[in-house]
Amino acid sequence: MSAERVLTTHRDVDFNPETYVSTYYSSSAWHEKDGDLITFVLNSLHEAFKSGAISGVHVLDIGTGPMPHTAFCAAPWFEEITLSDFSQKNLEFLQKWKNREIDHMGPVLEYLVKLETSSSSVEKRQEELRRKIKHIVRCDVAQSNPIVSTPVDGIIFDAITSSFCLDVASVTLEDYVKSIRNISNLLKPGGLIILVGVLEETFYKVGELTFKSLYIRKDDLKVIWQKEGFEIITLKDFNETFPSQKSESDNADFKSAYVMVARKEEP
């Protein structure tokens, strides 16, 4: 019998941040080539931010996990960054990284800096991110106010980023819709959300643990976000970008992945 067990939700148990990083973001887990999931995500995030059209004072990253790569892409365009996660282990891991006690983002940051084709070094860009991160706080998207933390409580953010979070924080589509409404409360009218997720996934693995993921189709994704008052500006689909490349992984059963930029409609 397998030692793995399917968990009802991510709330049941916490995974090891080091295991997550080695599984999905180590140099052996992705290969910096077209048709690779992480490469697709990093390329798409770079494209979304490179023009400077997504900018402001405050940006919130929801469900950062142990990898603040999405915030890294946003850092040049915002003055203050807030990282957040449900997991206390992830929050402690992020704080250690910010305090320079660990350095685990090497391959990902090297790839992103190479995409930028700028004169800035990985070290300078990483220090910029550390400097701009003002808060690392607990977040629960199931709550009407997902972040209750002074002095973050009360901030209305200019933009929100989130990677591989909402799909695993929701058990049902109803939960997913509630999560959207809850995080929308933190975003100013006209503000942008940059969302990374997977389509038609039921599980993902971290080490010996198997976690439940919300099964959602692309058409459902679009309809839900539009009904909740968001205008979808871009929605990049892995399968459409690489039609000849089969999206597959030994650690998850997703059918595709996406990077979406959407604007919160003004009243």
Strand-by-strand arrangement of the 6-7 sheet: 6-7, 209-212, 203-206
Its domain, for residue 204, covers 6-264
| Domain total of the chain | 1
Task: Summarize the confidence of residues 13-20 as an average pLDDT.
Answer: 88
Task: Summarize the confidence of residues 230-251 as an average pLDDT.
Answer: 83
Q: Is residue 1 part of a domain?
A: no
Judged against a pLDDT cut of 80, whether residue 266 lies above it is answered with yes
Q: Is residue 101 part of a domain?
A: yes
Judged against a pLDDT cut of 80, whether residue 30 lies above it is answered with no
Q: How confident is the model at residue 242 (pLDDT cuts 50, 70, 90)?
A: confident
Close Cβ partners of 81 (under 8 Å, ≥ 6 residues apart)? 59, 60, 61, 71, 74, 75, 129, 132, 133, 134
Please tell me the pTM assigned to this model. Answer: 0.92
Instruction: Report the CATH number at residue 131.
Output: 3.40.50.150
Q: Is residue 132 part of a domain?
A: yes
Judged against a pLDDT cut of 50, whether residue 100 lies above it is answered with yes
pLDDT digits over 133-145, tens only?
999 999 999 999 9
pLDDT digits over 33-49, tens only?
666 888 899 999 999 99
Q: Is 221 helix (H, G, I), strand (E, B) or coil?
A: helix
Neighbours of 4 (CB within 10 A): 12
